[in-house]
Amino acid sequence: MRRRRSLIGFIFVVVLFGSGIVMSAEPPHNVKKSTKQAKDSNKVFIAVTDKINLMAKEVDYLDDQYEKSNAKWQKYKTKMVLLEEITRTILADAKKGDTKSLNDLGKVKAGLEKVHRAMPAKLPSGPAGPGRFGAYYTQLKYTLEWDRPQRVGPLADVVVRFDDAGYKLVFWRGTNYVPCRVTENQIWYTDSSVRRRGGIGTRGNCEPMSDKQNRYCRVRILESNDARAVVHWRYSPVDINYHLCFVDEVTNWGDWVDEFYTIYPDGIGIRKVTLHTSAPQAWAQWQESIVVNQPHTKPEDNIELAAVTAANLKGQYRRYTWTQMGAPEFTDQPENVCIQMINLKAAHKPFSIVDPQGAAIEPYRGRASASLFTAWDHWPVSQDKSSTRVVTTFDKPSSTSLCHVRWRHYARQGQSDTKIMMQGITEKDVTQLVPLAKSWLHPPTLNLKSRLVGAAFTSHGYDQTQRAYVLSCKKAGKPSQLRFTLAADADSPVVNPAFVITNWGTSDVSLKVDGREKTQGKDFRFGHRRNPESSDLIVWVKKETQEPVVFTFTPKDV
């Protein structure tokens, strides 16, 4: 028995290196325990049993989320095999009344907690690598301990995948559905949400981050086809006690927000956000550039010190670097700044584009004690009532705020305010985004070509809110050939245009660009949006030019 316990103690110390556990090799002592001691020992016995069972199940639960090449996960699995065997041996001895084993259970529990905290957990974003473009309902796994209490169905999350690269757009419960662009190497970034401050009875900031149980946050897929995906995120910006802000005394409605994300195969989309409020003049924050740090990573692991680049439509730009003083002053911004790029340590970097009129980018002040950047762990994942809690250890996910983009409203009507923003992720340099920005802010004019009186189609111009030209078929479900020119030039270039033809019907379509047939595939995609009375055609074309270009759509037989 003495030799066996010595071996167990030695292995346990090796497995839990640094945990402070030292298993005694001495034989058990027959010490009579009081009733209170017995109860306490029984509690610890149950706690240790529950913990090792949870950890073992968690390995099985998460194993399919990690690639076999993930060395950290494979090492953790190997450690868990040893750890489970040793712990169960100690538990068996304790159950038999081995006093020394009972006394050691408290140390065992502390060691298990330390090992569990070191588990290489990762924020979930679905399958690795590229996948067929589109939005998908799924249930993302984080950890068994976090997932198990969640009272949700099997399709609680939404992931948008792309077939040209491994980046994704993720709407996950753990971020309260705050949409995050995830790079090919699993760095998360978001432009955040609408935040309010104030209102009778509220405490602190009112935002979806405070909605820990997602009582008010919902996400749904409105469209998903080969040409584009549209995702709707609806939420109420509540405080940490789930109180709504600016509640109307007559209707009892508080603030609500609708955000629509229209996403195309090139990874670029439009965020259209509408705030419904009875206090439209009160302070509101519409955007915050936030990097979400994976567990066991610091901001410096994910973000270049020259973290933010600001640019304008002339290609003039300025990079801003974090130092020991924290965030820099965002001085000497390019005139009419409208492009922001976040310099992550990834091949693909997120960017945002806004209307330049009155726009500005402002730094987020402060820093964490162990980082040049800000770092909080009250969000994501955290379930306790907390707000702006500074990181003390990086073993949990954390978030880093870099800056804010300020820009003007797109529309105001009654008690609703709307803003729009182009978002994307790219390998390009910030100056190479200028044509894209111009194509959205100053799109080429669409000129219909028809010799017939009473042409079969009507053009409704360019809709910035969905990055698409909108046309309608006059005879619903009976389209004829559609031909038009986009009058592109250097100031209004064409960059991967999209087209929505309402009332087109269910017919497929062929495409010619400047008289040349385009084959349906990665460079020419289409899909249908079905309505109660008709169907619309959605087309996306991979095409960049500063010269006028002619598009010809011809319906195919159903």
pLDDT at residue 36 in the model: 64
Over range 352-365, report the average pLDDT. 96
The first and second tokens of residue 395, run together, are 């073993």
Model confidence at 232: pLDDT above 60: yes
Identify which has the larger pLDDT, 29 or 185. Answer: 185
Which contiguous run of DSSP H or E holds residue 212? none
Identify which has the larger pLDDT, 35 or 517. Answer: 517
Model confidence at 27: pLDDT above 60: no
Question: Percent of the chain, pLDDT > 90?
Answer: 80
The DSSP symbol for 116 reads: H
Instruction: Give the closest residue to 258 by CA, choosing from 232, 284, 295, 230.
Output: 232
pLDDT at residue 73 in the model: 95
**Chain segment 293-342, per-residue pLDDT in tens:** 999 999 999 999 999 999 999 999 999 999 999 999 999 999 999 999 99
Over range 98-109, report the average pLDDT. 83
Model confidence at 134: pLDDT above 80: yes
Block residue for tokens 């046309």: 471
Residue 200's Cα: distance from chain center in Å? Answer: 31
How many C-alpha atoms does 282 have within 13 Å on its Cβ side? Answer: 19
pLDDT at residue 524 in the model: 98
Over range 379-388, report the average pLDDT. 91
Query: 213 near 149, Cβ under 8 Å?
Result: no
Which residues is 401 bridged to in the sheet?
290
Query: 348 near 167, Cβ under 8 Å?
Result: yes
Mean pLDDT across the chain, nearest whole number? 91
Over range 49-70, report the average pLDDT. 93
Q: 37: which residues sit within 8 A by CB, 6+ positions away?
A: none
Model confidence at 143: pLDDT above 70: yes
Domain ranges of the chain: 2-117, 134-435, 442-555
pLDDT at residue 103 in the model: 80
pLDDT at residue 454 in the model: 57
The DSSP symbol for 207 reads: B
Instruction: For CA atoms 2, 7, 10, 16, give the dihedral sign.
Output: negative
Instruction: Give the closest residue to 190 by CA, choosing from 201, 198, 182, 202.
Output: 182
SS3 415: coil
Say how far apart CA 108 and CA 15 lie, in whole Å. 11
One of 1.10.8, 2.60.40, 1.10.287, 2.70.98 is the CATH number of 134-435, namely: 2.70.98
pLDDT at residue 74 in the model: 95
Among the ranges given (24-38, 112-126, 270-284, 357-371), the one the predictor scored with the smallest mean pLDDT = 24-38
The first and second tokens of residue 186, run together, are 């699993």
Query: 398 near 389, Cβ under 8 Å?
Result: no
pLDDT at residue 1 in the model: 42
- Kindly report the pTM of this predicted structure: 0.92
pLDDT at residue 15 in the model: 47
Instruction: Give the closest residue to 169 by CA, choosing from 154, 155, 189, 153.
Output: 189
Instruction: Give the closest residue to 160 by CA, choosing from 190, 180, 175.
Output: 180
Buried b (16+ CB within 10 A) or exposed e, 30-48: eeeeeeeeeeebeebbebb
Q: Interior CA angle at 395 toward 394 and 399, to 5°?
A: 50
Among the ranges given (218-222, 359-363, 531-535, 550-554), the one the predictor scored with the smallest mean pLDDT = 531-535
**Residue 38 — very low, low, confident or very high, per pLDDT cuts 50/70/90?**
low
> What spatial distance separates the first Cα and last Cα of the chain, rounded to whole Å?
80
Among the ranges given (9-18, 46-55, 458-467), the one the predictor scored with the smallest mean pLDDT = 9-18
pLDDT at residue 10 in the model: 38
pLDDT at residue 172 in the model: 98
**Count of C-beta atoms within a 10 Å radius of residue 533:** 8
**Chain segment 442-457, per-residue pLDDT in tens:** 999 999 986 554 579 9
Instruction: Give the closest residue to 380 by CA, choosing from 217, 153, 198, 257.
Output: 217
Query: 540 near 533, Cβ under 8 Å?
Result: no
What is the full DSSP assignment across 426-482?
A: ESS-GGGGHHHHHHHHSPPPEEE---SSS-SEEEEEEEGGGTEEEEEESSTT----E
Instruction: Give the closest residue to 149 by CA, choosing from 198, 192, 213, 78.
Output: 213
Say how far apart CA 489 and CA 497 lie, in whole Å. 14
Query: How many residues in total does the chain contain?
Result: 558
**Chain segment 492-516, per-residue pLDDT in tens:** 999 999 999 999 999 999 999 999 9
Say how far apart CA 87 and CA 4 lie, in whole Å. 14
Say how far apart CA 417 and CA 275 lie, in whole Å. 5
Model confidence at 401: pLDDT above 60: yes
Instruction: Give the closest residue to 211 by CA, choosing from 226, 193, 199.
Output: 193
Residue 380: asked if its preceding bond is cis (omega within 30°), the reply is yes
Model confidence at 236: pLDDT above 80: yes
Among the ranges given (47-61, 83-97, 202-216, 283-297), the one the predictor scored with the smallest mean pLDDT = 83-97
Query: 502 near 478, Cβ under 8 Å?
Result: no
Question: Percent of the chain, pLDDT > 70?
Answer: 92
The pairing of beta strand 498-502 with beta strand 468-473:
parallel
**Chain segment 176-223, per-residue pLDDT in tens:** 999 999 999 999 999 999 999 877 788 888 999 999 999 999 999 999
